[in-house]
Amino acid sequence: MSAPALFSNYQWDQSNLTNRMVLAPMTRGRTKVGRVPNKIMGDYYVQRSSGGLVITEATSISPEGEGWVNSPSVYTPEQVDGWKSIVERVHQAGGVIILQLWHTGRASHSDFHGGDKPFSASAVKLEGDKIHTPQGKKDYETPQAMTQKDINRTIEDYRHAAQNAKDAGFDGVEIHAANGYLINQFLDAKSNKRIDNYGGSISNRYRLLDEITDAVLSVWPKEQVGVRLSPNGVFNDMGSPDFRELFSFVAGALNKKQLGFLHIMDGLGFGFHELGEPMTLAEFRGLFDGMLIGNVGYDKASAETQISNNNVDMIAFGRPWITNPDLPIRYKNNYPLRDFSDDSTWYGGGEEGYSDFSTYKDEHGITSMSEVSEHK
């Protein structure tokens, strides 16, 4: 009898992924001084390395890209060294790990930038809840529209961050173009009101992602580079009427670059902007030839269905993996999951609610390592 699809191997570039489960990138805010990745972050990723693939939390490419309290970055030697230690530990545990490259754009605040307003495609304020800053919770601000000089500098920041990720030993990188952050702000007509080569038409709005991707590809082989998109997403005040045409174009353009993977947040679990019939994973399967990762609200059964129907190669899981560090083992053996509805320790703090969750094996005193070792 063949193994269930969710627990079958998948060959991605030079890596044999031992199952089809991806640890989704989740911002947790656990760094302290200098946004340097630390030991408890390493503990967290090692504990969750039984997934087929680990994608790190969003990691800022530059000081200008920051917009979340105590999130990690990757632009200083100290930050690179911190990530290098984590990567080495994950590799020792048998895991495969890639770094997500992030610029928050207007989803930031001047408190993060010495009083300077954050950058975006246009001077269009994010309409939404307040933002947590180093000085407390505040209203979003109208951002600065980026000049060509700002854009050129940011593209170079992505190139530099990609090189730092390579120096740290990662197995690949993911360009975060989803969830209403900077690249998504250029893609979406709701936030992009430019009249130059980066605004107006879909091909113009795609231009920044195109140039950033090429910068990253100057450092990494195409097989080890991916992009994350949220075609149906409303997070950070996103959603434009032409989303179907936009993201079909973007997926097709990225496919021509022969990238290693595309990570689609289909938004059907939660966060759908409801501006039309949502785009599905099956649609993207027809637009992209590389590894396709699905995300947002999937459980074991729905993930199995998507993979068995060949709509997607991998499924990323987030919230259930917070409280269940051995999620693949629990799913494979039909062990019950620990509740993950309490979000009081999701963001910020230390080990509590982050790296202090026990495995099912430890909870129940199981002495056999057979079901554990086969996931390593």
Dihedral in degrees, nearest 10, Cα atoms 139, 145, 147, 151: 70
Dihedral in degrees, nearest 10, Cα atoms 104, 29, 222, 86: 160
Burial annotation 352-362 (CB, 10 A radius, 16+ → b, else e): ebbbebebbbe
Burial annotation 296-312 (CB, 10 A radius, 16+ → b, else e): bebebeebbebbeeebb
Q: Could you tell me which residues are beta bridge partners of residue 17? A: 10
The one catalytic residue among 181, 198, 206, 360: 181
Nearest to 108 by CA among 40, 45, 27, 212: 27
- Give the ranges where the chain is alpha helix by DSSP (H): 39-47, 77-92, 148-167, 182-187, 202-217, 243-256, 281-285, 300-308, 319-323, 327-333, 360-364, 370-373
Residue 134 CB neighbours (<10 A): 10
Is 181 catalytic? The answer is: yes
Q: Which amino acid is at 342?
A: D
Q: Apex CA 233: angle with CA 230 and CA 234, to 5°?
A: 145
Catalytic residues: 181
